[in-house]
Structure 1
Amino acid sequence: MTYQQTIQLKNGARCCLRSGTEADGQAALDNFILTHAETDHLLTYPDESTITAAEEGTYLKDKAESPNEAELLAVVDGVVAGTAGFSAVGSAYKLQHRAEFGISIARAYWGLGIGQALTAACIDCARKAGYTQLELDVVADNASAIALYKKFGFTEYGRNPQGFRLRSGGYQELVLMRLGLS
């Protein structure tokens, strides 16, 4: 699914929200590794990534060509500041109404409105793709993310007290949230 929009950030800078392309593979991969190193709120540690820049480029190309999935980049001054996207939960009829949402923003760009803009763009695209439910998991102590999702109408439907296991020891609780799109 293709998407493109230019927005103005809270600091006055311009940000292009757009579908990733094959040529964005290295920049998107660099952002992935950076964001996963900057916080424990994301699914993996940066050293767990085995994807190459070429494979990331193919992934972005496939998402741009998909009628029902998307991966969007937030580009500020030629730098990928963040990514967000949604994917089908499954292809079985009983799951076709559901999509999973994910987002990450580099710490240097937190608080500028990129997360809000990417979330809104993905919700819009998911509706256009025909989904009636968008889902996500968020670490329970990530108050700013939970506030953002609630602002868009996501509601909690459960918790997993040991959702993420940390290398440093212990667990992080995950909040399961959903948004009805119909």
Structure 2
Amino acid sequence: MSEFKKFKPVTRKLGKASVLLREVKHSDAAGLNEIINDPKVREFISVEGPVSLSETKAKIRESLRNAAHKWIVAEADGKVVGSLYLTRNKGIMSHSGNFGISLAKEEWGTGLASALMDAVFAFAKRNGITAIHSSTGADNKRAHAFYKKKGFKFVGAYHKQRKRGRKFIDTLLMEKFF
């Protein structure tokens, strides 16, 4: 099994706000680009910046064409406020996948990351995924606590893989089994 089924949109209540979780659309490019180019967000993700709008549009096109990839967007009041991508591995590793998540800085600590992960991981399980892998910078303590709370185990590191300014940072590898 290498193809994902369609992700059915779902609305989640976060405090007083409602957030729609749905598959990415071409019209999301500007909102996603705004998030990825925020220096505070980029500090914690593996993307060199700045990212042009045309690069974001190309990533959306690529994602929509790839049946082993799902890019789920969180939308609040018509505005993109976050996203999570899930990619199924190929061949003998097709029971597993990788993910990455990014949220607008204003959404940090609101429960949005948890809602996105819960919805997308339930989708992954329904599609035969039994293991999820990702990585994070060793200096992202807030993310470490969050991932542990979500059931992830840290299983290794790539030493000095990331560079921020003149400082080298280890990349921590993590996994979760369903």
Q: Which residue of 1 aligns with 2:69?
A: 69
Q: Which residue of 2 aligns with 1:42?
A: 45
CA distance in 1, matches of 2:130, 2:63: 24
Report the secondary structure of 1:149's partner residue. helix
Q: 2:99 corresponds to which letter in structure 1?
A: F
Equivalenced residues, count? 172
Compute the displacement of 1:150 (Å).
Answer: 1.3
CA distance in 2, matches of 1:60, 1:23: 14
CA offsets, 1:48-67, max 9 Å, x none? 5584354244235336xx3x
Q: 1:87 corresponds to which letter in structure 2?
A: T
Q: 8 Å contact 1:22–1:61 — kept in the other structure?
A: no
Q: Which residue of 2 aligns with 1:138?
A: 136
Q: 1:17 corresponds to which letter in structure 2?
A: L
Q: Which residue of 1 aligns with 2:9?
A: 4
CA distance in 2, matches of 1:179, 1:49: 33
- Where structure 2 has 5 or more consecutive residues not aligned to the other structure, the ranges are 1-5
CA distance in 1, matches of 2:136, 2:106: 21
Counterpart selection for 1:22 from 23, 26, 45: 26
CA offsets, 1:80-139, max 9 Å, x none? 1111011123x23x2212211100111111111101111112211211221121000011
CA distance in 1, matches of 2:60, 2:177: 31
- Pairing 1:178–2:175 present: yes
> For 1:112-127, what aligned pairs fall within 5 Å after superposition?
112-127=110-125
Using structure 1 for the length normalisation, give the TM-score: 0.84
CA offsets, 1:26-55, max 9 Å, x none? 322332223xx2241110232255843542
Q: 2:81 corresponds to which letter in structure 1?
A: A
Structure 2 vs 1, CA of residues 49 and 26 (structure 1 numbering), >3 Å: closer, same or farther? closer
Using structure 2 for the length normalisation, give the TM-score: 0.86
Q: 8 Å contact 1:154–1:179 — kept in the other structure?
A: yes
Structure 2 vs 1, CA of residues 48 and 28 (structure 1 numbering), >3 Å: closer, same or farther? closer
Q: 2:62 corresponds to which letter in structure 1?
A: Y
Q: Which residue of 2 aligns with 1:13?
A: 17
Q: 8 Å contact 2:44–2:140 — kept in the other structure?
A: yes
Q: 2:55 corresponds to which letter in structure 1?
A: T
- The percentage of counterpart residues that share the same residue type is 23
Q: Which residue of 1 aligns with 2:36?
A: 32
CA distance in 2, matches of 1:111, 1:26: 23
CA distance in 2, matches of 1:76, 1:20: 14
Q: 8 Å contact 2:63–2:69 — kept in the other structure?
A: no
